[in-house]
Structure 1
Amino acid sequence: MAKYFLNDQFLNSRLGNSSSYTWKSIWAVKDVLTKGLCWRVGTGINISINDDAWVPDAINFRLSSVVNSMRDLKVNALIDNTERIWKMELIKNTFSEEDAGKILRIPLARAPHDDFLVWGGEASGEFSVCSAYKLLQISDENPRAYALQTIYRKFYKKLWLLNLLTKIKITIWRFSWNYLPTKYRKLATNSSCPRCGERAETINHLFRECPVTVEVWTMLSLQNILIAANMDFVQWLTWVFEQLTPQLDGLENRKLVNTRENRSWSCLPREFIKINFDGAYDGKNNFSASGIVVRNEEGLVILSCSETHQGVASAFAAEAVVCRKAVRVGFENK
C-alpha cells in the first residue's frame, strides 16, 4: 500500500486514479478511523486546542465550541510543565464550564511523553471491530443502518439464540445486510444469474425470484413465503424468519453455570508478598477511592492504606490509578 501514501500516514492518503478494488475497500474505512481516533495528551505540543480531537468525554472528542483566543495555540499552552498539572485558572476562565470540567479530568503523566493517537471507542485505547461497528450504527451519515439495527433487534436476537450451526447464523446475518458477494456487486463482468440466466444475480433474485429457488421452496411446501412480494428484502427476510422459527429445532438453552470457587489462603513462597488492591468510582462527582492491602508469605498484613482522588475521568481511570499505586508500593517493599 506504500504506493498510495509513500512517506506519509494512512489518514492523509488519497484515493488516487485507477486504484485497485482492494485499495478502494481499505480507503473507504478511513473516515470511520478518523471519527474514532482521539489524541492522548502527553506534552501537548502536537495537538491543536480547537481543531483536533483530544477531549475523551466530549462529542467527537472535540470542544463544544471554538475559542477564538486559542485559535492558533496547542494544548501545551494549558499545561504547567513544571508541576505537570493543568493550568486550572486559565482553563476555567477560558472555556465553558462543561468543557473546562472535561479538560481538567484528563490525566497527565508525571513524566512528559509524546502525544499519540488512541482509539476512542474503547477505554483501553485499542481498536476493536465491535466498537467500530457501534460507531457506524450511530453515525449521522448512515441513519439507515441504525434504523435497521433498532427495528430488527428482535430478529437478530432470535437469530443468535437459534440452535443452528454458527456458520449458518452468520450466513443469515450476511443475507440481512446484503453482504453476500453476488455477481451483481461487480465481482464479475457478467452479472446474470448462473442458474437461470434470466436476470441479474441480486440477493432478492437469488432467494425470491429465481425459478430454481421457487422450485426448492415449493418442494419444501413453503411456497407461501414468496407471497409478500411488495416487501424489500430485509423486511421479507424478517417476515420469513418469523414464519419459520416455530418449525426450527427450538432455541438454545443457555444456563448460567456458577463458576465461583471457594478458595482458602495458601502460603506464598518465602520472601514473597501479595498485594491486593481495588478502586471505587463515583461518576457523578468524578471522585474515586482506592485501597491496598499487602500480606507476607504467612498471610499476615504488613501494610494497608487507602486514598481518595479528585477529577478522575472514568471507572477505568480509577482502576488505573489504584493499580499504579499498588505497583509503586510493591517496588518500595521489594
Structure 2
Amino acid sequence: MPKRHLADLSLPERVDAVRELGEQPFRAKQLSHHYFSRLSADPEAMTDLPVASRERLAGELFPPLLDTVRHIECDNGTTRKTLWRAHDGTLIESVLMRYPDRTTVCVSSQAGCGMACPFCATGQGGLQRNLSTAEIVEQVRLAAAAMRDGALPGGPGRLSNIVFMGMGEPLANYKRVLDAVRRITDPDPGGLGISQRSVTVSTVGLAPAIRKLTAEGLQVRLAVSLHTPDDELRDTLVPVNNRWPVAEVLEAARGYAESTGRRVSIEYALIRDMNDQPWRADLLGSLLRKHLGRLAHVNVIPLNPTPGSKWDASPKPVEQEFVRRVNEAGVACTVRDTRGQEIAAACGQLAAEE
C-alpha cells in the first residue's frame, strides 16, 4: 500500500493529521479544498499556505499515487483508456468515456482480480493487491481534472458518473471502496461532491457483502455481474457461484433494491454458444421477474474478447433475440453501448500487454 494520503482520510481524520504535523486545524479544509474542489495535488499551487507548511503537509499528505504509463484513445477521442503505474510498480487501468449527455469514468478497485472468471482478462492475471482508498479516488480526481481541462473532444466539461467496473472485485476490497465512495460523494471540502445516485458499484455476487452494503444506507446503484441464470454454467463462468449461488445473489440484490428503491443492473456478457441460448434468456427473465420484478434492468454486454481467447461475442441476430425474449418476460433489457474495443478497453488487456 502507498503511504497515507489525504484522500484516505475523512475530514475529522485530516484535522487530526494536520494537528499531528504541528499545523492549525483549518489547514485540513484548505488542503481538502485544493484536492477535491480545485482538483490539484500540486503543493506549488497551494499559495494560501505558507511555503514551509506547504512543503511539510505535501510531503506527509500528498505522496505520489499514480503515474501515467500511457493513454490510448478511440471513438474519435471520446474514449480514453489510461494505464497507470502505482508507487510499487503495480499497473492499473481506468477508462474515461464522454457521451453527449454525460461523462463516465470506469475505475479499478484492485490490481488484478481474484475472482478467476475465465472470459475476463483481469481475472486470468490473478490478484496482485487491493488498491488504497486514495488510489481509487485519485483515478476519479484525475478524470475530473481531464474533463475540466478539455482533454477530450468537446471542450471543457464535467465528470458526471463513476462506475466501479474496472480491474478487480469492488466488494472484495469492501472498506476501501466504501471509503472511496464517501470521498467521491461527500460535499466540499469533504469530497468531490458527486451524487451517490451517479455512482455504480459492481460485484460478481458476493452475497454477504451485498447485504452489508444494503445496511450502509447509501443511494449508489448496485450492478450484479450475473452472466448466466443457471448455477451449472455459472459455477464455471463465475467461480464464486460455488459459494453463493444465483438464488442467494438475487435475494441479496432484492434486499438492496427494496432498501434503496433503486433498480439493480444485471450485467450479462453475451458469449457465443455459451450463455446466449433462447432458453437461458427465458430462464433469466423468469428468475428476475420472481426475485426483483421491476427493480431489475438487464445490461447485455457484447463480449470484448481478449487476444487468443476461445471466448467470442454472440452474433447480432442471437443478441437481438436474447434481448427480445428477456423483455417479453417483463424485465427491462437493453444492449450496452460498447466503447473502446479497438483499444483493448476490456479491463486487464492493457496491463497484460505491458
Give the TM-score taking structure 1 as reference length: 0.23
Question: Greater strand share, 1 or 2?
Answer: 2
